[in-house]
Amino acid sequence: MTPSDMRPIPHHFSAVAAGYNDLRTLDPEPVDLLVRSLVGLSVASMADVGCGTGRYMVELLRRLGHKPFVHFVDCNQDMLAQLRLDLDPLDLPGFDILHSPAERLPLPDGSLDCMLTFNAIHHFDLLGFFREAARTLRPGGLLFVYTRFPDQNERGIWGQYFPSFTAKEKRLYHEEHLIGAIGSARNLVVRELTHFSFGRAATLDHLVHRARNKHYSTFCFYEPDELERAIEGFEANLKETFGAFVTLEWEDENVMITVERV
């Protein structure tokens, strides 16, 4: 771990790196959208920015008919170390792993056909990142931003039942802000906004396990004893609403923004 990784959010990703893929749900639907969007296009070079352990890019490559060169980019060494452990180089003829901020990409101008960023944009400086996306994508290249808006966050099980969850999570970008930032970047145009809704089911124990293990970085904004009190409140809120159900069911929402470099 480097000194910069000791700040709360980098430290969080260092702490969760080894267990990250087990803690988080991988949604196949946004990957389906990517496969559909890329079919028939000439895609030789891609980047996954804020790739973490690389799980979405790996899933996409599994599903694409051909294997482009891939740049995995993240500012956290421990997430990238986990990616190195998980990757099977035989599945990937060409790739590199770049320890770099999203706002200063070590990639040449116009060198990418496609860029994705999944569950990460709320950590980035928007204008810096979009400037770099516009610089590194070739004209006609596509950027896919997968995220959730604050209102989507509020409607999920954590937003509705976990004490202070939405008040603590101040980083998510509102739709207008995100679309406005893309519009203000030179040469980027929003082509599509796709909303996703996922039916989820889990036991209360499993949800509590996820919160204690901070599957969302939002939980870093709780002091340790505050987090324990919030977990008790969460359990009480769920029992009051769902009664004695062993398995709880709810909907999670996300959005994909498809952007073209014109």
Ligand X SMILES: C[S@@+](CC[C@H](N)C(=O)[O-])C[C@H]1O[C@@H](n2cnc3c(N)ncnc32)[C@H](O)[C@@H]1O
The yes or no reply on residue 187 touching ligand X (CB under 6 A) is no
Q: How many residues can be counted in the chain?
A: 262
Whose Cβ is closer to ligand X: residue 55's or residue 210's?
55
CA R_g for the chain:
19
The yes or no reply on residue 55 touching ligand X (CB under 6 A) is yes
Q: Would you say 98 and 73 are in contact if contact means Cβ atoms under 8 Å apart?
A: yes
Q: Where are the alpha helices (DSSP H) in the chain?
A: 8-16, 20-23, 28-38, 55-63, 77-86, 126-136, 150-155, 157-161, 165-168, 175-184, 204-212, 224-242
The yes or no reply on residue 30 touching ligand X (CB under 6 A) is no
**What minimum distance in Å lies between the beta carbon of 125 and ligand X?**
7
Which of 43, 46, 51, 83 is close enough to bind ligand X by CB under 6 A? 51
DSSP per-residue string spanning 181-227: HHHHSTTEEEEEEEEEEEEEEEEHHHHHHHHHTTSSGGGGGS-HHHH
**What minimum distance in Å lies between the beta carbon of 212 and ligand X?**
17
The yes or no reply on residue 173 touching ligand X (CB under 6 A) is no
The yes or no reply on residue 52 touching ligand X (CB under 6 A) is yes
Single-letter amino acid code for the residue at 249: E
What's the angle, vertex CA 33, arms to CA 261 and CA 103, rounded to 5?
40
- Contact code string over 99-118 relative to ligand X, x by CB under 6 A: --xxx--------------x
Residues 73-92 that bind ligand X (CB under 6 A): 74-76, 79
**What minimum distance in Å lies between the beta carbon of 227 and ligand X?**
18
Q: How many residues bind ligand X (CB under 6 A)?
A: 19
d(CA 11, CA 101): 15
The yes or no reply on residue 210 touching ligand X (CB under 6 A) is no
Nearest Cα neighbor of 43 from 147, 137, 182 is: 137
Q: Would you say 65 and 76 are in contact if contact means Cβ atoms under 8 Å apart?
A: no
Q: Which residue is nearest to ligand X (CB)?
A: 52
Which of 95, 107, 112, 123 is close enough to bind ligand X by CB under 6 A? 123
247, two tokens: 């398995």
The yes or no reply on residue 119 touching ligand X (CB under 6 A) is yes
The yes or no reply on residue 162 touching ligand X (CB under 6 A) is no
Residues that bind ligand X (CB under 6 A): 13, 24, 50-52, 55-56, 74-76, 79, 101-103, 118-120, 123-124
